[in-house]
Structures are given as structure tokens and as C-alpha cells.
Amino acid sequence: MKIKFLSAISVSFIFSLFLLDLSNVHSVIKIPIRALSLLVMIFPIYVTIRKKMDIKNTLFKKKLDKGKIIKLLSVIILLIFFAILIRFITYKGEFLSFSKSLHYGKYLWVYLTFGYLLHAFLQEVLLLLLYQGMTNFIIPNKNTTLIIVTLIFGLSHFYLGIFTVIMTFTAGIVFILIYRKFENIFALTIAHYLLGIVAIAFGWA
């Protein structure tokens, strides 16, 4: 199983190198193609582990009740405040110069209201399958697995530059820590979506 899972990760990573760079794709079709690309990356991992791991339980281990949602939003607000602080420290002169394009032009709001939400969900599915699969089949130590998986997660964004790799690596660590706390993919998706909008506004994504 170890060899099969490592092979699936390799195939998925190779797909990411060819499928995620959509800089030359027209904005109208960029959104669905990005979602399709993520599904293609998820597929080899899903097929490999579906009979060996309870995927539904992995994604939805605990329910998000009212108390947990309040805690989640509190965590997200703190993270957004931290992001704003970084922006202020590093870009004082351009603090309010928000990004207006994201390469989607007039389709930006379509992307933010639908495309990015789907994109965030699929990315978290991929991240969790990698994390739990690595923990179950390769390295039982969850902290070691966290670093390895988030490094893979970051390197898959290499086409966007080293800053994005570092930012994605850091975000991946945050998301997995959130997963450990809430154990529900919707918690990750909400966090990813809201933090992603902040990153987009500041021109970081």
C-alpha cells in the first residue's frame, strides 16, 4: 500500500505541474478548468485509498455545531488580523492599494462568489486525503506528516513564484491545524475561502 500511495502522490503532483498554470487560459473557462484540474489531481489518490480508508469519516469526522462555528470564526478573525498586520508592516505605503484583477478581470466576482469557494473545497479535499493517507500508510507521526504534506502542497504552486510557495506552505500548516481542531472539511473550506479573499484583496493570490 505504501508504494501505491506514493505512486498516487507522484501522479497527482505531476498533474499539478501541468494543469494548475492557467495563465494563458481565457477567464471565462479558467474557473471550471481549475476545478476540473483539482478533480484530476484528487482522482489517483482517491482511487488508491478508497478501500483502505473511511474517506467520509475523514472529511466529516465531527459536526460543526453552533459553538464550534463561533470558535472557528474567532480563529479566522485572528488570522485575518494577523494578515492585515503583515500587510501593514510590509506594505505601509500601499496598504489600501487592493488588487483589482487576479487575472479574472470583469469575471472576478463570479470567481469569488462561486469559483473560489469550489476551488477552496477541492483543495482541502486534496490536502486532507494527502495528510490522512500519509499518516495512515507512510508516516504515523502527524507532525512530520504535516510538514511533508504542506511542503508538497506549497511546491505544487511553484508556477506562481517562490512567495506563493511559502505562503501556501504556511497556509497549509494553518489549515491542517484547523482540521485537527474541528475535524470537518467545511471548517477548512470556510477558513480557506475567507482568508483567500483577504489574500486576493492584497494581491497575494
Task: Give tens-digit pLDDT for 160-200.
Answer: 678 778 888 888 899 999 999 999 999 999 999 998 888 77
Structure confidence at residue 186 (pLDDT): 93
Tally of CB atoms within 10 A around 14: 12
Whole-angstrom distance, CA of residue 29 vs CA of residue 23: 12
What is the arithmetic mean of pLDDT over 112-137? 88
Region 131-156: what's the mean pLDDT?
88
Residues in the chain: 205
pLDDT band at 29 (very low <50, low <70, confident <90, very high): confident
Mean pLDDT of the chain: 83
**Region for residue 102 given its phi and psi (left: phi exceeds 0; alpha: psi -120 to 50; beta: otherwise):** left
Q: What is the pLDDT of residue 44?
A: 92
Find all residues with CB under 8 Å of 186, minimum gap 6, and list them.
60, 64
Which structural domain, as residue segments, surrounds residue 135?
2-201
Output DSSP code: residue 105: G
Q: Answer with the residue of higher pLDDT: 113 or 82.
A: 82
DSSP one-letter code for 184? B
Paired with 60 in beta bridges are 184
**Structurally, how many domains does the chain consist of?**
1
What pLDDT score does 2 carry?
A: 84
Give the model's pLDDT for residue 145. Answer: 92
For residue range 51-93, what is the model confidence (pLDDT) as tens digits? 889 898 889 988 888 899 999 999 999 998 988 887 777 766 6
Q: What is the pLDDT of residue 144?
A: 92
pLDDT at position 109: 72
- Residue scoring higher pLDDT (201 or 67): 67
What confidence score (pLDDT) does residue 46 get? 93
More confident site: 13 or 44: 44
